[in-house]
Homo-oligomer: A and B are copies of this chain.
């Protein structure tokens, strides 16, 4: 493994925990998979389908969001939205995030 590959891997690790939080936050408003992905991309977060779908699946299994098949524009799509528990979890995680942010920035100085 080259240095560059190592670096890329570390960079991925950095994104990792953030994904869940981003998805939860974005799903305060209802989205289907594709639009969720596009929205996150527009805000600067690229996430592959093969990463996103298992992720929402996991979050749903944990009760943090709900999903429903519906037809829209002649197409069946699966719509996701945070549950109440998901909303609470999001709020707590947001606080945790700000703490992590502070701590790391303190260390980086």
* Closest residue on chain B to residue A5 by CB atoms: B62
CA distance A21 to B105 in the complex (A): 10
Given the interface pairs A14-B21, A16-B16, A106-B43, the reply to whether A7 lies near B100 with Cβ below 8 Å is: no
* Closest residue on chain B to residue A46 by CB atoms: B103
A20 touches B25 (CB 8 A): no
Q: Which of B17, B62, B63, B94 contacts A13 (CB 8 A)?
A: B17
The range of chain A's interface size is 35 or more
Q: Which residues of A57-109 have CB atoms within 8 Å of chain B's CB atoms? A: 62-64, 85, 89, 92-94, 96-97, 99-104, 106-108
A20 touches B26 (CB 8 A): no
A97 touches B104 (CB 8 A): yes
In the complex, what residues of B have CB within 8 A of residue A89's CB? 3, 6-7, 10
A107 touches B22 (CB 8 A): yes
In the complex, what residues of B have CB within 8 A of residue A12's CB? 17
In the complex, what residues of B have CB within 8 A of residue A104's CB? 18, 21-22, 45, 97
CA distance A43 to B34 in the complex (A): 40
